[in-house]
Structure 1
Amino acid sequence: MAISKRRFLFGTVALLSATACLVHRAQAYLDDEDDENVHSLRTHSLYMPYIDQDLQNRWFDFGGDTIINTNHQIRLTQDYPSQSGWLWSRLPLTAPNFQIEFEFKVHGKGDGLVGDGFAVWLTKERAEPGPVFGNRDNFEGLGIFFDTYANARQTHSFPYVMAMVGDGRTSYDNAHDGLNNRAAGCEADIRGKDVPTKGRISYNGNSQTLKLELRTTESDKSDTCFILTDLKLPPAFFLGFTAITGGVHDNHDIISVSTYVLDKGEDFSVERANNTRPPSGKSSFGWVLKLLAGSGVFAGIVFIAFKMTKKNDRARF
């Protein structure tokens, strides 16, 4: 009887080990497949200490009132009035499918009226300071505005994040906070946070869809701010960050930028129609693997138990 139990335990452990090995190999395959689909783009990424020994960055220009703290952040504006700063990629981005992840903080001493905000740009032009959150007006491409000050009465609260698609001729309606220019937007609690806010821009050139996600807490959960469809970006555009202050002011900090080229872009039009994110193939396949693994272990245990029972029954007779 003791020998039978040992054989039973040995068989069960062997089966579990084999199953775990198969699951591990399958997961490694999925990870490799995912890594092959995502390629880091150094020319459009930025990390501490930001500058080299010549106080320059090979891939980005900065100017205006921008101050670089090599241990903390790139501060586009300080918490002072009438400031304007900018940060632009030197090279254009031409990939049809991409993701841009960026960390930022908007903060200051003020608790009441603060502003004005900052912007992320995917535009044909670059490094032309102006009145639209520190950048030129009549731009061509996409501007995403993180607006912290209301110039007019609105139905939404501030801070407010909105997208404007520029055609090179249309001016930004600053007096009404871009109400007539708004392609999409959302309310977002992005100011005065204890941790940096994380943003992620994902674009699929085939379906011409773009999604902005924001994460304002330490959790891993990101919220979709908006999804744009039928968005055709310039074939070559520059990545920029600008900020401006006026009578009201804040610190506007960029902490990191990570850009990735994707072999296959996700179609966000389904998510927009259903207001839910479709499950990725990787997650679904992983769930199936776990189910199959669990079923295999259970079936193996039942089979071994059945064989041992039959053997013991034969031994009794």
Structure 2
Amino acid sequence: MVMTQFIRLTPDQQSRQGAVWNRVPCYLRDWEMQVHFKIHGQGKKNLNGDGFALWYTKDRMQTGPVFGSKDNFLGLGVFVDTYPNEEKQQEAQKRRYTPGNQRVFPYISAMVNNGSLSYDHDRDGRPTELGGCTAMVRNLDHDTFLVIRYVKRRLTVMIDIDGKHEWRDCVDIPGVRLPRGYYFGTSSVTGDLSDNHDIISLKLYQLTVERTPEEEKWDREVFLPVVDNMKLPGLDAPLEPMSGLALFLIVFFSLVAAVFAVVIGVIIYNKWQEQSRKHFY
């Protein structure tokens, strides 16, 4: 819904979805996206949902299960999640959270996807989350902002939701490599629970950053989203190579077992021949 002062991705009604996407790809190397948004509705406590997502992805305008957009995407997703799916499921199954593992909602998280990962909505994206923070953003009387900054392969997300006009750190991940030529977008979806998800403004800034010759050398163009020195969550880690001793023991006992099997086979064969001779005579 395009209003005079904002774009409403979803109204406070069930089973609605909406999205806004840039039609021109972004070829900036260093950039900052400032988002002025508002989430509000009649739902109280956790009887609201589900939140909205901010995207920097290869594909645009494709609907799907991840806050109204496609799964197994290529690029970056920042999720403002207002409903704790995992907590409700665990309460229904009468399971407890382990200390330090509980998250307070609404919750903001970031995910980098190389196309092979699936966002686990039932677990609020926990298996693929690179970082996140609690952000009480619903039904506030003052303006709420979020900024995504990508500088020198470093991804940071900061929020201004307290009405103090001060940025507060939320996500800080070094070594994030995002290809250029992707699209910015934002999407939202409601199910049984709902909220008004309003985008007041999306402002993209090009950042001028000085680089040393060495940084220029290593700052090469990439073709798939990746995070340096970090296994993307959701992918099985490769098996560690066995040590020399372990390999020797495996080979040794394998040979012993083979010799033992041969000896047993010879004994059985000889007994069978003896039995055959007795029957013949």
Q: TM-score, normalised by structure 1?
A: 0.61
1:265-276 equivalences under 5 Å are none
CA-CA distance at 1:265 after TM superposition: 6.8
Q: 1:156 to 1:139 in 2, by over 3 A?
A: same
Q: TM-score, normalised by structure 2?
A: 0.68
User: Of 19, 24, 32, which residue of structure 2 is paired with 1:91?
Assistant: 24
Which residue in the other structure is 2:121 paired with?
174
User: Of 180, 183, 206, which residue of structure 2 is paired with 1:238?
Assistant: 183
User: Of 48, 54, 60, which residue of structure 2 is paired with 1:120?
Assistant: 54
Identity %: 40
Which residue in the other structure is 1:81 paired with?
14
Give 3-state SS (helix, strand or coil) of 2:86's partner: coil
User: Which structure has greater helix proportion?
Assistant: 1
Amino acid in the other structure paired with 2:178 = L
User: Of 260, 265, 277, which residue of structure 1 is paired with 2:205?
Assistant: 260
User: Of 166, 189, 195, which residue of structure 2 is paired with 1:221?
Assistant: 166
1:1-317 equivalences under 5 Å are 67-70=1-4, 72-112=5-45, 113-153=47-87, 155-204=102-151, 207-264=152-209
Give 3-state SS (helix, strand or coil) of 1:131's partner: strand
CA-CA distance at 1:118 after TM superposition: 0.1
Write out per-residue CA displacement over residues 188-244 of structure 1, whole angstroms, 9 at most, x where no aligned residue.
Answer: 11111112211111111xx31011111013322110111111111122110001001
Which consecutive aligned stretches of 4+ in structure 1 deviate over 6 angstroms post-superposition? none
Q: 1:265 to 1:181 in 2, by over 3 A?
A: farther
Q: 1:132 to 1:202 in 2, by over 3 A?
A: same
Amino acid in the other structure paired with 1:227 = D
Write out per-residue CA displacement over residues 88-133 of structure 1, whole angstroms, 9 at most, x where no aligned residue.
Answer: 0001101111111110000001113100010000111111011100
Give 3-state SS (helix, strand or coil) of 1:130's partner: strand
Aligned residues: 197
CA-CA distance at 1:258 after TM superposition: 1.2
CA-CA distance at 1:143 after TM superposition: 0.2
1:196 and 1:105 map into 2 onto residues whose CA distance is 7
